[in-house]
Structure 1
């Protein structure tokens, strides 16, 4: 079980906005106060939106089971071709990461690293003996399950692992593989996202990783966030559900916003050229 199951990294692309950044205005603030502000902008706080790198392992044996860095994944033998290896977007207080880890991120500076121990009660929970069940081999055969120790199985809506084969009966453990284990997170705060338009682009990237982020446009006027979607996004399976997630996230990261508007532009195709022209 990975962090992706406990809580989507996405395709790397340049961030793009459709509005020009406002020019900084002159102030009479002292150099000291400006310095304090700069420091504050680099410190994680409640409601912060940031990217983090992490390595997660079990404390007892030090086995790494998830990370955001490709080189580490390959070294630890957990690399998966379909996974995206890049920093994960985290919104402090929004449960995109385990609450126990989010709490420890508060106060960290950009570039700072920390090791966080997460006990079972704050992670995947304790092991539940009632989730260990015995099945007849004939019943498992109906589900296409081979009675082999260590085999992962799905019975109904539950997923488990065969832990023992006892004659005609098979013991299956439906507990999470991490249940009852203390987890160790090695976390690094990589980047704080502070520009409003870039915050919206970040949550779009989180929800719709299949489309390059530079194909979207974002503008914020008053209390309305307008997001321009590329026509190609219409062909993504489940795009309507992703849009609901984007709207919800955008209203979280832009606190003054009251509504989110989606715009898709369809252009008239050019007529085919006549033969001989």
Structure 2
């Protein structure tokens, strides 16, 4: 702090230079979206939701931090922010996307999804009796409620009796009617904002100032930092970015994903050569 600066001025300066968090970046994108309009098939929107099971009202998924805290399920490492949804692209359950059509920005709605349109009915064949000795080899203790993983299957122990456990490998939501309370926060109409939002959705940990999207004629160019090479699954994310960009901007014919590697600066410290006599 200089002699001319007051503590308040110094704090303001630090706030101005402080990089926004991921949540703040998303909030900024939502604020730039249209605050009026009606959702139609193909609309790119920001959506808040809370998903519960109808039978007992248990929350299984949500985007709202205050609800997570009220329900006692808040997690520090979870992201609580509106999600990007391309209506009609099956980013959500079809039964939800169908109900979003016709909603207005700021409107809230409760949507019920029956089992056949949600996680499906319970499959009796996925409920298996497994010896505790076999479970123990996989590090399973054998108590009711314990989660079990066998190869690609994940289940939960629902009964433990004698030397055997009953393990249900159905989805925890199978056979249940799901209830979603949704709110449309904004509709993204600007093409540039749409393309940036798609990149952010595919690589959410990438700060906004670390990538750029430009549109030149029928070519979309996405420039990513070299650090993105170290992000798990980035190659698949790039394929998804290209596919989504072409779908959201039908006039485009190609997408270029560019990562630039600069030649490192040469070591400025020179080593003197030995003189020979």
TM-score range for the pair, normalised by the shorter chain length: 0.7 to 0.9
How many angstroms apart in 1 are the aligned matches of 2:92 and 2:75? Answer: 21
Q: What TM-score does the superposition give when structure 1 sets the normalisation length? A: 0.83
How do residues 20-169 of structure 1 correspond to structure 2 at under 5 angstroms? 42-169=37-164
Partner residue, 1:230: 225
Contact 1:219/1:226 (8 A) holds in 2: yes
What 5-or-longer segments of structure 2 have no aligned partner?
Answer: 1-21, 271-277
Matched, 1:198 2:193: yes
Post-superposition offset of 1:210 = 1.2
The C-alpha deviation readout for 1:43-102, integer Å capped at 9, x for no partner, is 100100011000111111112121101121121122233321100110111111110000
Partner residue, 2:247: 252
Q: What TM-score does the superposition give when structure 2 sets the normalisation length? A: 0.83
Give the one of 161, 176, 181 matched to 2:176: 181
Higher relative contact order by CA 8 Å / sep ≥ 6: 1 or 2?
Answer: 1
Post-superposition offset of 1:166 = 1.6
262-271 vs 164-173, greater mean Cα deviation: 262-271
How many angstroms apart in 1 are the aligned matches of 2:121 and 2:136? Answer: 30
Matched, 1:171 2:163: no
How many angstroms apart in 1 are the aligned matches of 2:190 and 2:143? Answer: 53
How many angstroms apart in 2 are the aligned matches of 1:46 and 1:226? Answer: 26
Find the residue that maps to 2:167 and give its secondary structure.
Answer: strand
Aligned length: 244
Post-superposition offset of 1:267 = 3.0
How many angstroms apart in 2 are the aligned matches of 1:272 and 1:89? Answer: 46
Question: Which of the two has higher C-alpha Rg?
Answer: 2
How many angstroms apart in 2 are the aligned matches of 1:153 and 1:160? Answer: 5
Partner residue, 2:4: none
How many angstroms apart in 2 are the aligned matches of 1:269 and 1:83? Answer: 37
How many angstroms apart in 2 are the aligned matches of 1:116 and 1:135? Answer: 38
The C-alpha deviation readout for 1:156-198, integer Å capped at 9, x for no partner, is 2100010001201110011111111111100000011111111
How many angstroms apart in 2 are the aligned matches of 1:76 and 1:66? Answer: 11
Post-superposition offset of 1:251 = 1.1
